Amino acid sequence: MSVLKAIILGIVQGLTEFLPVSSSGHLSITQYLLKVPEDNVLFLTVMLHLGTLISVFFVYSKDIFLMIVEFFKFIFDVMSGKGFSLENQHRKLAAMIIVATIPTGFMGIFFKDLFASFYTSQLVVGVALLITGTLLWAAEKFNSGRRDIGDMKWYDAAFVGFFQGLAITPGISRSGSTIVGSLFRGFNKELATKFSFLISIPAILGATVFEVKGALEVGLGDLTFGVLLAGILAAFLSGVFAIRSLINFIKKEKLYYFSFYTWTLGAIIIVWTIVR
């Protein structure tokens, strides 16, 4: 494995993890085109996810810090008998992230084999990309988006978490599905974007923890520390770029632009699968 290949894979992972185009499919295609050996793929992929996770912490460092502070304040309030209060916005945001993670985790654990079977079908990937494009277009065209964190209920967070769980399907974008879920619930665009990226933290972290053991069992192949570092850094930098770019797209009401890309790619994959 060369440093250049690791950088290319890192860039693809960082961009497609946060842009609503489905990272799993793009990373798989890139690995195939670069002819990356199977024994290099698993552990490197886990490390690239770590790079994208760092990019979320970097962009939303202030919100994450305040949520951590409010979490400990909440524990202190409960233990000191002050009661259960979610009046603080960052305290409530942290609670809603936990709620959203529950359906995602449930779907990931109990439907793991079902979702894994989808990875063997390019037709499923193609159809899923068409669905992703349709959801993006619908959410952008029909959403008013006026609700903020103060209006969010637990079932709103669970609804978005369910959409995140659906993104385990290859071809369904995680960022796209969670932003769409948030917009369908009437969140304003700032909250929809922020909530989408913040709930990716436990999702990506959980997936990394579950995958690292299996990746280590497969082995590292010819991966070196320098190669891994280059891939992680590329994933981090491209992830920061993708997050900030998507924020601008949403602010300018151009989220549906990605629909044309996913529709085109999905159609190509379906036609290629049928005629090959």
One-letter amino acid for residue 160 of the chain: V
Q: Three-state DSSP class for 119?
A: coil
What is the pLDDT averaged over residues 201-224? 74
Task: Characterize 82-108 residue by residue with b for buried, 16 or more Cβ atoms within 10 angstroms of its Cβ, and e for exposed.
Answer: eeeebebbbbbbbbbbebbbbbbbebb
> Binning pLDDT at 50, 70 and 90, where does residue 215 land?
low
Helix locations, 3-152, DSSP H: 3-18, 23-34, 38-59, 61-79, 89-110, 112-118, 122-142
pLDDT in tens, 34-86: 877 655 566 788 888 889 999 999 999 999 999 999 888 888 877 877 767 77
The pLDDT of residue 194 is 92
In DSSP terms, 147 is beta-bridged to 187
The structure's pTM equals: 0.84
Question: What was the pLDDT predicted at 60?
Answer: 94
Q: What is the pLDDT of residues 135-179, one digit of tens each?
A: 888 877 766 678 899 889 999 999 999 999 988 887 888 888 998
Instruction: Judge whether residue 203 has pLDDT over 60.
Output: yes
Q: Could you give the CA distance from residue 40 to residue 2 in angstroms, rounded to a whole number? A: 11
Q: Supply φ then ψ for residue 252, to 5 degrees.
A: -90, 5
Q: What is the pLDDT of residues 218-267, one digit of tens each?
A: 666 667 888 889 999 999 999 999 999 999 888 888 888 899 999 999 99
Predicted local distance difference test score (pLDDT) of residue 66:
93
* Spatial CA neighbour of 59 closest among 269, 239, 263, 264: 239
Question: Which residues, at least 6 apart from 206, have a Cβ–Cβ distance to it below 8 Å?
Answer: 101, 105, 108
Q: How far is CA 141 from the centre of its chain?
A: 22
Query: According to the 3-state scheme, what is the secondary structure of 145-197?
Result: CCECHHHCCHHHHHHHHHHHHHCCCCCCCHHHHHHHHHHHCCECHHHHHHHHH
List of residues 6+ apart from 93 with CB closer than 8 A: 63, 67, 149, 195, 198
